[in-house]
Chains A and B, each alone.
Chain A
Amino acid sequence: MTLLTTQNRISDLFSQKSERLLNVYFTAGFPNLVDTVPILRGLQAAGVDLVEIGMPYSDPVADGETIQQSNGKALENGMSLKKLFTQLADCRQEGITVPILLMGYINPVLQFGVENFCRKCQEVGVDGVILPDLPLDLFLFDYAETFRRYGILNVHLITPQTSEARIRLIDEESEGFIYMVSSASITGSVKGVSDTMETYFKRIQAMNLRNPRLIGFGINNHETFDMASQYANGAIVGSAFIRHLDEKGISPDTIRAFVQTIRA
């Protein structure tokens, strides 16, 4: 198999920086269809390390109410994968340098065609994807080669219930980083970080995995970001940012204010 050694912005980022990385999620086409690139620009200007763009889906089972609603609104606005790739088409030429991940569910990607999807990701400068309902074994068997050919990283999740053997397997098969789900939960459903989470964070930290780790789910303020950063390379904020966009709008200043609150 031919490996295309395309430079990947995610791998590059982690080779340069390993502490307190901030990854912010937002849903493409929310609050308005045309907001995707302005929000991306705002996040880059505010200094986030990675951006995760949600591909809206009608049935997002791993997500809580906030992200479900933003998905629903984005679909109402007419967002689709086709439109998202059109919106992102020129962003790299226009100065977007931050690593971009697409996060979403497998069915829209299957309908788009996995190969076509990877090709478009490469064309517009998407560096990685997160597809929670594409299980590891099916990915490895059916799609890993295609992803590799286009230089697109597939980020896998682990949870407090993931067995040590499976974490080792995921670590072996991962590139970029591992997404640590902070607790047994859907997105946006936990407030803060508990002692049991801390035990889990320490347990994973002690495993000395080869991949960097970012902690997500329940990271919604400076305190939780700090705590997650103690045990991993950084954290992912999603629902809290969606709520912020909904309440405060998408101007560069409000986005900067949000990012500053998290980073403090």
Chain B
Amino acid sequence: MQTTIEPQTSFEVTDQGFYGHFGGAFIPEMLYPNVEELRQNYLSIIADPGFQTEFWQLLEDYVGRPTPLFLAKRLSAQIGATIYLKREDLCHTGAHKINNTIGQILVAQRLGKKRIVAETGAGQHGVATATVCALMGMECIVYMGSIDMERQKPNVDRMRMLGATVVPATSGSQTLKDATNEAMRHWINNPVDTHYIIGSVVGPHPYPDMVARFQSVISEEIRKQLFTKTGRETPDYVVACVGGGSNAAGAFFHYLNEPSVRLVAAEAAGQGVSSGHSAATTALGKPGVLHGSRTILMQTEDGQVTEPYSISAGLDYPGIGPLHAHLFESGRGDFYAITDDEALQACFELSQLEGIIPALETGHALAALAKMNLKSEDVIVVCLSGRGDKDLSTYSKYL
């Protein structure tokens, strides 16, 4: 594939929205004005002192930040290294997703938008979007695959209770990919008054960068908290799960240019990388274009997007964010493929070792620890991206 820019040495996005070979804005002309309006304004909006004050105030008073960095002693003993857990599960609504929706709704207000549209897979991003829309009194429409609506019913009810309209995506495979298509179509049909809050570090530039910036509070806090606890800001490893990759982007952000910190991404192998039921994008994908950016993508030889599978709806996506594609290609990140069973087992272990029931997505990050050949002196931060309440119906089958 040809590229429009020279390979980068840093991991910051270029003006054209590229991370190495990946990124850009592959969008139909119908979306160009919206995306361009956002591209031209997002940095100055975010830099504005009024925005900063409101954003940080809301993160503190409403989201409950900073979230703790917890030394997991029993897990550390079992793994044989020092493990800290970054407790994003303690954020309001139960996951890191709200860091981004708070930021984006403040951007949307400043762009004069009246309505919010979003996509959701497991419903966590949908709930986080519905929550900030209620907070700001904005209309909220969430597209969700009709199959996901059935398997994540409690989150559908939460969104409705928060006043959002949940629209089933009935096209294609009726999951996250199709919900994203439908949300984009909605935005095409309503270009002037609507802002699209994408939930991960995917989509056309500037979304991957904007979402990474809002999630970067995770690594900003890790640095300070780790210094307080250990006298150093840098761990040996930061570990996070990657579907689209927003919690990973946030946890990696302030370590991207520090090679002494290994960045570890756990992808969902589903029933096994070669089983035909997997979402291990870097293991199975090739470069391609999906949802507005050039990235690594699970696809057929003919370039048709393949339907992924994972037990965890939040990792059930055929692509990854362009930043992660660049981390993979450049070797800056280590990617592990974690099966459904390994993730489930890690969720049960954490629950019983530390009294924390994590989300299934997070279980993938925890399961990577056993595969990393850790030394006893290693310090590892795992991003505990979400809590497991939403997954109880899955967990209960194994009790």
B188 nearest in chain A by CB position: A186
> Is B27 located at the chain interface by the 8 A CB criterion?
yes
How distant is the Cα of A111 from the Cα of B289 in the complex, in angstroms? 10
Q: Which residue of A lies closest to B170 (CB)?
A: A65
Q: Say yes or no: is A61 at the interface (Cβ < 8 Å to chain B).
A: yes
> Is B370 an interface residue, CB under 8 A from the partner?
no
Q: Which of B30, B185, B290 has the most CB of A within 10 A?
A: B30
Interchain CB contact under 8 A, B26 and A111? no
Q: CB of A7 within 8 A of chain B?
A: no
Total A-B contacts with CB atoms under 8 angstroms apart: 121
Specify the chain B residue showing the minimal Cβ separation from A183.
B189
Interface residues of B in 147-180 (CB under 8 A from A): 171-172, 177
Report whether B188 and A138 are in contact in the complex, using a CB–CB cutoff of 8 Å: no
Number of interface residues of B (CB under 8 A): 40
Nearest residue (CB) in B for A143 is: B2
> What 1/0 flags go to A96-116 for Cβ under 8 Å of B?
000000000111111110100
* Residue B1 interfacial (CB < 8 Å): yes
B292 contacts A62, CB within 8 Å? Answer: no
When distances are taken between beta carbons in the complex, the residues of chain A under 8 Å from B181 are: 59-61
Contacts of A158 in B (CB 8 A): 29
Which of A57, A61, A109, A185 is the one whose CB lies under 8 Å from B304? A57
Known: A61-B28, A161-B191. A108 touches B4 (CB 8 A): no
Residue contact B4 to A138, C-beta cutoff 8 Å: yes
**Interface residue B303 (Cβ < 8 Å from any Cβ of A):** yes
Q: Does A75 contact B (CB under 8 A)?
A: yes
Closest to B292 in A: A133
Q: A107 and B299: CB pair below 8 A? A: yes
> Which of A133, A184, A189 is in CB contact (< 8 Å) with B289?
A133
Q: Are A80 and B25 in contact (CB under 8 A)?
A: no
Chain B 275-310 near chain A by CB (<8 Å), digits 1 or 0: 000000000001111111000010101111100000
Q: For the complex, is A58 an interface residue (Cβ under 8 Å from B)?
A: yes
Contact, CB under 8 Å: A184 / B25:
no
Say yes or no: is A135 at the interface (Cβ < 8 Å to chain B): yes
1/0 contact string of B1-34 vs chain A (CB within 8 Å): 1111000000000001000000011111110111
Q: Is the beta-carbon distance between B188 and A58 smaller than 8 angstroms? A: no
Q: Are A157 and B299 in contact (CB under 8 A)?
A: no
A132 to B297, CA, bound (A): 19
Q: For the complex, what is the distance from the CA of A133 to the CA of B171, rounded to whole Å?
A: 19
Chain B neighbourhood of A166, CB < 8 A: 32
B311 at the interface (CB under 8 A from A): no
Q: In the assembly, what is the distance between CA of A156 and CA of B33, in Å?
A: 15
A138 to B3, CA, bound (A): 9
Known A61-B184, A135-B25, A138-B24: A184·B30 in contact at CB below 8 Å: yes
In this assembly, does A134 line the interface, its C-beta being within 8 Å of a C-beta of chain B?
Answer: yes
Q: How far is the CB of A137 from chain B (nearest CB, A)?
A: 8
CB distance from A133 to the nearest CB of B (A): 5
Which residue in B3, B191, B291 is a CB contact (below 8 Å) of A184?
Answer: B191
Does A94 belong to the interface (CB within 8 Å)? no
- B192 in contact with A161 (CB, 8 Å): yes
From B190, B290, B301, B302, give the contact of A59 (CB < 8 A).
Answer: B290
Q: Is A159 an interface residue (CB 8 A)?
A: yes
A159 touches B30 (CB 8 A): yes
**A142 surroundings in chain B (CB, below 8 A):** 2-4
* In the complex, per-residue mask of A38-66: 1 if CB is within 8 Å of any chain B CB, else 0: 00000000000000000001111110110
Kindly list chain B residues whose C-beta atoms are within 8 Å of the C-beta of A68: 171-172
A114 to B191, CA, bound (A): 31
- Contacts A161-B191, A162-B29, A162-B33 given: A110-B1 contact, CB under 8 Å? yes
Question: How far does the Cβ of B286 sit from chain A's closest Cβ, in whole Å?
Answer: 8
A109 touches B303 (CB 8 A): yes
B286: chain A residues within 8 A (beta carbon): 111
CB distance from A32 to the nearest CB of B (A): 19
A81 within 8 A of B: yes
Point out the residues of chain B lying under 8 angstroms from A163, CB to CB. Answer: 33
29 chain-A/chain-B pairs, Cβ below 8 angstroms: A58-B304, A58-B305, A61-B181, A61-B184, A65-B171, A75-B304, A81-B302, A107-B290, A108-B302, A110-B288, A111-B301, A112-B302, A112-B303, A114-B2, A133-B28, A135-B27, A135-B32, A142-B3, A156-B29, A157-B28, A159-B32, A162-B29, A162-B32, A163-B33, A181-B29, A184-B189, A186-B30, A186-B185, A186-B189
Interface of A toward B, CB cutoff 8 Å = 57-62, 64-65, 68, 72, 75, 80-82, 105-112, 114, 132-135, 137-138, 141-143, 156-159, 161-163, 166, 181, 184-186, 189
